[in-house]
Structure 1
Amino acid sequence: MTIRVNAVRSGRIGKVALIAATTAAALLATTTAATAASAGAGGTAGTGAASASTTPKRVGTAARIPDGAVRTGAPAGSTAVTLSVGLEPRDPAALKSFVAAVSTKGNAQYHHYLAKGQFADTFGPTADTVAKVTAALKAEGLNPGRVSADGLSIPVSTTLSAAGKAFGTGFASYRLKDGSTGYANSAAPELAGNIAGYVSGIAGMDTLIRINARHSTPRTAASAASATSAARASTGSSAVRAQAGTTGPQLCTSAKSALSSIGSDGGGYYSAGNLATSYGMEHTSTSGSGITVGVMELEAFSSSDVAAYQSCYGTGAAVSTVKVDGGSKVAPDPDQNIGTESLLDIEDIVGLAPGASVIDYEGVDATVLNAKGVAVSNPNLSDADVEHVYRTMVTDDRAQVLSSSWGSCELDTSGALISAENYYFEEAAAQGQTVLVASGDDGASGCAQDTDSTNQYTASTDDPASQPFVTAVGGTDLIGNPASTRSTWNSEGGASGGGTSAVWSLPNGTALDYQSGFTGSGFSSTACKPHTGYTCRQVPDVSALADPDNGYALYFGGGWGTIGGTSGAAPTWAALTAIADAQTTCKANGPLGFVNPALYSAARTAYAADFSDITLGNNNIGHGGYSAATAAGYDLATGLGEPKAGALTTSLCAALAAPATGAGTYHAVTPTRLLDTRKSAIVPAYGMTGVQIEGNAGIPASGVTSVVLNVTVTGTTSSGYLTAWGDGTTRPKTSNLNWVKGQTIANLVTVPVSGDGGVDFYTTGPTQVIADVQGYYTDDTSGLTLTTESPTRILDTRSAKGVSTRTAITNSTVSLAVDGANGIPSDAKAVVLNLTAVGTGGSGYLAAYAEGGSVPTVSNVDWSAAGTVIAGLAVVPVGADGRVSIKVVGSSHVLADVFGYYTADAGGSSFTVAGPSRLLASTAVAAGQHVALQVTGRVGIPSGIKAVVLNVTVLGSTAGGYLTAWADGATRPLASNLNWSNANPIPNQVIVPVGSDGKVDLYVSSKANVIADVFGYYM
């Protein structure tokens, strides 16, 4: 499985090139089923790659049966089981592109995360997809529950008998080498072909999963029992006395006394204060204030132990619990090592970042007690139980930082769980959540603890540490107070997990190729069998203390002790991230989010200042491994190394201080035709054509951020749609024009211009494409800024408004005064008009231009039949006399509604690209009703914007009508944006003011389906 960003790239040669339909189809065939989703009429993109056939298809694989497992029969068919049917996002490529944008310094969308609860509307599967999958499950006799908040999972509570019948598989019971038991499906789940492409996997089909906490066996201090009461009572000066290098809470005297049998601070264990000093972390009683850290757990924990730990340190961090699927059923038992992992995660975080809050996401127990009272793997734990915890942490979206110290060998982890985790971690990145994961405690042999695995001693990494959208944290050994010696952790049979993923790869040369230039010695370029242009993911990314011989001071079971493992390293980095998020320069611009691109960027520019390079040791536990001493910088044992937290935090937060916003000013040009395929060849169905923007028709050769084009399709021989986007970037799953057979139709489009200065067009039906430039944006103050107005009609030839007669205009020109109309000032350089042709007498077009200027040979609104009602947005330069001219070729009444104007005044609004992204999937709106569309907080659009640029499409209306867009909370204006006379799809770009609540309203006069795609906004 790979991360794909550019599924189809332009093949443009010079100014224009065409790619045949067969070539485009071949390119699409190289993508995964998820990315091969297509957009139908109206641009209903990303509804999955499901086949029209109902012929059953297998999804995923049969369960992996551990080596040495003995089949003991079949589980009872009445056994209750909870399945999780994972769904593909509506457009996986667009999701990855968005994550790359919000995670890449310099991108216009950098750190403009999705608002809470917006993922489903933006990237989740469409309501139609959910309905189809739900209906198919019901048809198989199942009772699916409500889809998850993000739209990525449908729960199904059923029995093994019903599940086997519905998914075409049997189940068998097994006894494993360690005596534990479980069951598994004998074949991959089977689904009808017409929904299989919508489903990413089905979790919960087997209970042979073995997920382990990545910590060592805790060591109890000899004097722990006598220290118990003292620790609980120890507050005041001994609890908060600071040592050199930190002013934060310190380990109390009674705890030091209890731990003296193990060693000293820095010579047997590390206290929070010493660790903070050793890493240069800010450490005060309020460090991390205002930030929430979520920890993933599969067990309960002792709240009294946490209270005693905080009492010793004199801290009062809020710690709460969210029980997932009912949470744990087993009481914490330190003698059985149950509850220890949770305590390590929580106590490490509250000791290092006492100002932060912690949420313990408590899932179903990974370990239970058998009839003899001995701890064994839970025979009823399934991959669905694990998935539910991650899903809850992400969809809850209460914690800015997420930490997990649980993992399983990547080679032995179910495909359904790996796929589900990937989408949840992408969702976290889109929302601005940082995910830290322990890289594992088995060195380069990630399956070493799986004694019944055929992969036990195979070179392997851990899941989810190898996931591409998490930060994997390896382990080191420290000595000193503060630390003066650093090396790779490798002791007591454990070592820092690291190596090359067998599953994941990163796309070379893209924003998600964050490991480019960092290749650890021993890296295998074929471990994951990457496609051309991809490189296998390397683990870990960074490291921190993990050696149990010099580990973390922990309060558990009513006393003090020590513990190690990468389970301690991950929450250490979680605390560091929380402290960074709380910094003023970070906090003002949102959390760090998916931090890998920023980490590797910091390493490229200031490695020695931001990281401590680990050059001692290796992670070979006897079956091969990787050395940290082979070269400076990155290695497959400790990643980039340990943090120099002060400098690193400055680097990460400085990346937010002045990001390139992409905000730009507008430059109007004389409308000029840049592309007309009628002079070359028709664009075939599923074909592409492109045009050079920069350096063409007087447009600058560089510095153009977006271009405004009037795009026309004509000569259509079947229905279809057109998408415009910047060459060299991912084609969005949105549409700019939609048409039916024989229709000629135009629309204004605002298109981001990529690094090579070109724009591409993709069509799903054979058509000729015409593109006329109206203007462009640059990322400076040299152009014009926009002032928006409440839409107002200033011309209507039907009622002699703006003209002296009520007759239709036939092959003539209307002179329209805009200076002073609706408050437009005399210094306006261009005006935003929505032009509508009504009562047409046959084919024709409208062309608007500055009065007194040259008459353009291009058009703004086109029609091909009598009786047409059609509208088009136009940005029209204003003549010296304060007027614009509207040329009518053919016969038509003409309406003009003003939406704003451009001036050279720096106080106006500048334009920022956003998307293109779908904000409103096809939604039925009743006649005379409106839909309130949330704009801000989605796809990186910030609050406080003045106006938004939308492409709105109406289709499926049974009667003629019109659509009006306006700011939510304001009075609906007596103007229109779209007009239609039949059920044919009608698109139009709108520039509409946004209400104080971040919403715009879309009203339809007759029942219709409405689609809205965003292209940018004005601040």
Structure 2
Amino acid sequence: MFRRLQPSQPMKSLAFVDKRRNLQPMNLPVQFSEGDHNSADELGASVPGSLGRRAFIAGTTGAVVGAAVLSSTASAVESGASYFESLTPTRLCDTREGKGYTSLGNNTIRVKIAGNGSVPSDAVAAVLTVTAVNRTGGRTWVSAYPAGEAFRETSSLNLAYFDERVANLVTVKLGVGGSVDIRSLRHVDLIVDVAGVYRPTSSSVKAGRFVALSAVRRVLDTRTTAGKPGAGSVVTVNLNGTVPADAIAVVANLTGVEAPRRGYLTAYPLGGARPETSNLNLAAGQNRAVGIMTKLGTAGGIRGFNVYLLSGAHVVVDVAGYITGSNTGASSAGLFVPIRPVRMLDTRLDKRRLWPGWTRAFTLPSPMNSKASAIATNLTVTETMNRGYFSMFAAQTVRRESSTLNAAGPAQTLANHAISAVSTKGVAIYSLKGGHVICDVTGWFTGSPGSATTGVPADPPPPPGPLPWSLSVPKMGLGSGVYAGSSKSIVDAGHTWHWTGTGLVGQGAHTAVFGHRTEHGGPYRYQHYVGAGDLLYVTTGDNRRYTYQMASEYITSKYADQILAATRQVGGETFSLVACSKTNRLPTNLAYRIVSTFKLVGWVDLG
């Protein structure tokens, strides 16, 4: 039973004194609540007017996503099908040596592919390893696209610092003169190696078709074997039992782990000579993955390929599929239809990044949605939250424990090529630790989408919002930073103290904060103004905004146990303001506390 405080009563004997208000919550509209994110699989069509830090990745200005690409890609995706021809890896361009390119200005070069050396002259698309060396101190992107066409604001790889060296597999439609244009935001050196090409066909073929495995299969992980391969090592990847004996190439993800120093990895056919090319570049201590489409060879009864390591590292190989050989029956399934690069997903546009354990799906435009068995993509992640991986897979199917892309820590921007199976529900991306995801599609493989076998995955709540926070209570005129640590030093500086031991926003718990009423700027001077329907906003350090609504108010003694008990009187997640007060709620008396409790209404990702 709550009782009005009598001044003559001893403070320590009071459980609570004077329940001043018990307010009923109001129904308030918010952008989305904790449960709403599961149902939305599409991006809004509008593009933010101010891009700020997003401009680091090509495509945030004017990028069109989702169903909006239908009219612009219909003719491209219906162009002629093609089959894959695997080539011995060959270097076609190296700007460091001034070879193999024509400068077009505006940080753009043109590289001839079709008819260049041993490359067939009728090639309509190419699979390239593009390596960039950052020659400036700023972040930059690199984009490969059909020669002679307008830049589509998509990207192929990203670099963050001076002299960083990044390689990525790129599938790109060929343009004018059988060439590709490669553009960068800032000055970089570019190296282009060709791994294979797609050649046109008007009929079924035996060799050159993509076949996806029923599930991605890890065929090598040196972390589970005798030891880490050293500098100059060659590791054999045995694909017996994984791909047919006549498969001409493998589609896989190659990951280098715990590199001791800067170096590179080169994949090449078993039994063949090592080419002067590279697939993956690593910095000291780095873990990084790259997609590969590598020609296969046979030696000693093993069908597979080798991986050369300049400086050593652990090697992990995950196989997604293979390219058929001549002993396979002729079919039209698995042929490749190259298209102009199209951005299908960009979570920055609707400010709904993937939080840890979240999955985001996107649907495909016609005719891909009914005629594609898989898509060729470039997956980019940015503003990663922590060390972890991202996986791409057919939407609403069982997700396997494999990675498409690996982040080594927070605040990274990384890209990787992927060929992903599709379902009737499209393509999904899972994030272990969170971040924004961008997906650019460069073509599709003929066939039929798989069936959806599961429901929409349930996303867990995001982790608790990290301090410091920004606190706003409009009715009080309050705008204050919330900090953890020494209560006296924080509030005497005019800030708000997060009461040690109480909950964090987004934790589903009771949060309490304290601020001065009259001293040191008196940020809580007008706490007694708060009434029914008034709102409180908390913006977290990772850019979420939580909205709370006034639910109850108490006047208590100065003792912590009574104050904290008052903050727990309302069920669910709450946020309580605590300040010194007279018993009539006005400022101020050090013997009493006013406790204003707000109940969570919802939260919004500010991106």
| TM-score, length-scaled by structure 1 | 0.35
Residue from 396, 415, 423 that aligns with 1:987 = 415
Residue from 360, 363, 384 that aligns with 1:931 = 360
C-alpha separation in 1, matches of 2:319 and 2:158: 25
C-alpha separation in 2, matches of 1:687 and 1:39: 20
C-alpha separation in 2, matches of 1:942 and 1:692: 32
Aligned positions of 1:268-417 closer than 5 A: none
> For 2:312, what is the secondary structure of its paired residue?
strand
C-alpha separation in 1, matches of 2:286 and 2:182: 26
Residue from 191, 212, 224 that aligns with 1:799 = 224
Q: Which amino acid aligns with 2:179?
A: G
Q: Which amino acid aligns with 1:40?
A: A
C-alpha separation in 2, matches of 1:740 and 1:889: 23
* Residue 751 in structure 1 maps to residue 172 in structure 2: yes
Deviations 1:496-537 (A, max 9, x none): xxxxxxxxxxxxxxxxxxxxxxxxxxxxxxxxxxxxxxxxxx
The corresponding residue for 1:676 is: 94
* Residue 848 in structure 1 maps to residue 275 in structure 2: no
Contact 2:129 2:195 (8 Å CA) reproduced: yes
Deviations 1:617-665 (A, max 9, x none): xxxxxxxxxxxxxxxxxxxxxxxxxxxxxxxxxxxxxxxxxxxx32110
C-alpha separation in 2, matches of 1:774 and 1:751: 12
Q: Which amino acid aligns with 1:986?
A: L
C-alpha separation in 2, matches of 1:998 and 1:689: 38
C-alpha separation in 1, matches of 2:134 and 2:262: 13
* Residue 862 in structure 1 maps to residue 281 in structure 2: yes
Cα offset, 1:747, TM superposition? 0.6
Q: How many positions carry a matched residue from both structures?
A: 376
The corresponding residue for 1:473 is: none
The corresponding residue for 1:813 is: 234
Residue from 119, 124, 128 that aligns with 1:705 = 124
* Residue 965 in structure 1 maps to residue 392 in structure 2: yes
Residue from 295, 318, 342 that aligns with 1:917 = 342
> For 2:175, what is the secondary structure of its paired residue?
coil
C-alpha separation in 2, matches of 1:809 and 1:944: 45
Cα offset, 1:721, TM superposition? 0.7
The corresponding residue for 1:62 is: none
Aligned positions of 1:22-37 closer than 5 A: none
Q: Which has the higher helix share?
A: 1
Give the direction of change, closer, same or farther, for the CA distance of 1:809–1:998 in structure 2 (3 Å limit).
farther
> For 1:756, what is the secondary structure of its paired residue?
helix
Cα offset, 1:38, TM superposition? 12
Aligned positions of 1:152-171 closer than 5 A: none
C-alpha separation in 2, matches of 1:952 and 1:101: 19
Contact 2:382 2:412 (8 Å CA) reproduced: yes
Deviations 1:910-963 (A, max 9, x none): 0112331111113510112211222x226x524142111111011111321111
Deviations 1:740-798 (A, max 9, x none): 12221111001111242111101101110111000000111485111101211111111
> For 1:43, what is the secondary structure of its paired residue?
coil
Cα offset, 1:684, TM superposition? 11
* Residue 1005 in structure 1 maps to residue 427 in structure 2: no
Contact 2:206 2:324 (8 Å CA) reproduced: no
The corresponding residue for 1:109 is: 77
C-alpha separation in 2, matches of 1:724 and 1:760: 6
Contact 1:736 1:749 (8 Å CA) reproduced: yes
C-alpha separation in 2, matches of 1:685 and 1:892: 38
> For 1:679, what is the secondary structure of its paired residue?
coil
> For 2:96, what is the secondary structure of its paired residue?
helix
Q: Which amino acid aligns with 1:793?
A: R
C-alpha separation in 1, matches of 2:308 and 2:192: 19
C-alpha separation in 2, matches of 1:670 and 1:678: 22
C-alpha separation in 2, matches of 1:740 and 1:830: 32
C-alpha separation in 2, matches of 1:798 and 1:969: 31
Residue from 73, 78, 81 that aligns with 1:663 = 81
The corresponding residue for 2:161 is: 741
Unaligned stretches of 5+ in structure 1? 1-33, 48-89, 111-660
Cα offset, 1:109, TM superposition? 3.2
Give the direction of change, closer, same or farther, for the CA distance of 1:799–1:685 in structure 2 (3 Å limit).
farther
C-alpha separation in 1, matches of 2:119 and 2:207: 13
The corresponding residue for 1:872 is: 290
> For 1:729, what is the secondary structure of its paired residue?
coil
C-alpha separation in 1, matches of 2:178 and 2:222: 41
Moved over 6 A (4+): 681-685
Give the direction of change, closer, same or farther, for the CA distance of 1:900–1:100 in structure 2 (3 Å limit).
closer
Aligned positions of 1:164-183 closer than 5 A: none
Aligned positions of 1:261-660 closer than 5 A: none
Give the direction of change, closer, same or farther, for the CA distance of 1:98–1:675 in structure 2 (3 Å limit).
farther
> For 2:399, what is the secondary structure of its paired residue?
coil
C-alpha separation in 2, matches of 1:798 and 1:675: 35
The corresponding residue for 2:368 is: 941
C-alpha separation in 2, matches of 1:1009 and 1:793: 26
> For 1:890, what is the secondary structure of its paired residue?
coil
Greater RCO (CA < 8 Å, at least 6 residues apart): 2
Contact 1:38 1:733 (8 Å CA) reproduced: no
Aligned positions of 1:131-150 closer than 5 A: none
Q: Which amino acid aligns with 1:989?
A: H
Cα offset, 1:46, TM superposition? 2.1
> For 1:948, what is the secondary structure of its paired residue?
strand
C-alpha separation in 1, matches of 2:292 and 2:185: 26
The corresponding residue for 1:523 is: none
Cα offset, 1:722, TM superposition? 1.0
> For 1:925, what is the secondary structure of its paired residue?
coil
The corresponding residue for 1:784 is: 208
Deviations 1:207-255 (A, max 9, x none): xxxxxxxxxxxxxxxxxxxxxxxxxxxxxxxxxxxxxxxxxxxxxxxxx
C-alpha separation in 1, matches of 2:142 and 2:318: 26
- Higher Rg of the two aligned structures: 1
Cα offset, 1:696, TM superposition? 0.5
Deviations 1:856-901 (A, max 9, x none): 11111112x2111110001111112312101111121110000001
C-alpha separation in 1, matches of 2:289 and 2:311: 16
C-alpha separation in 1, matches of 2:247 and 2:310: 27
Give the direction of change, closer, same or farther, for the CA distance of 1:987–1:685 in structure 2 (3 Å limit).
farther
C-alpha separation in 1, matches of 2:108 and 2:57: 18
Q: Which amino acid aligns with 1:738?
A: N
Give the direction of change, closer, same or farther, for the CA distance of 1:755–1:871 in structure 2 (3 Å limit).
same
Q: Which amino acid aligns with 2:310?
A: V
C-alpha separation in 2, matches of 1:100 and 1:972: 31
Cα offset, 1:98, TM superposition? 7.2
The corresponding residue for 2:519 is: none
The corresponding residue for 2:109 is: 689
> For 2:311, what is the secondary structure of its paired residue?
strand
Give me the CA root mean square deviation: 2.7
C-alpha separation in 1, matches of 2:105 and 2:355: 33
The corresponding residue for 1:43 is: 58
Cα offset, 1:91, TM superposition? 6.2
| TM-score, length-scaled by structure 2 | 0.58
Deviations 1:116-153 (A, max 9, x none): xxxxxxxxxxxxxxxxxxxxxxxxxxxxxxxxxxxxxx
* Residue 765 in structure 1 maps to residue 191 in structure 2: no
C-alpha separation in 1, matches of 2:421 and 2:159: 28
Contact 2:379 2:417 (8 Å CA) reproduced: yes
The corresponding residue for 2:499 is: none
Q: Which amino acid aligns with 1:950?
A: T
> For 1:943, what is the secondary structure of its paired residue?
helix
The corresponding residue for 2:147 is: 727
Unaligned stretches of 5+ in structure 2? 1-48, 447-607
Cα offset, 1:700, TM superposition? 1.9
Identity across the alignment (%): 30
Deviations 1:183-204 (A, max 9, x none): xxxxxxxxxxxxxxxxxxxxxx
> For 2:360, what is the secondary structure of its paired residue?
strand
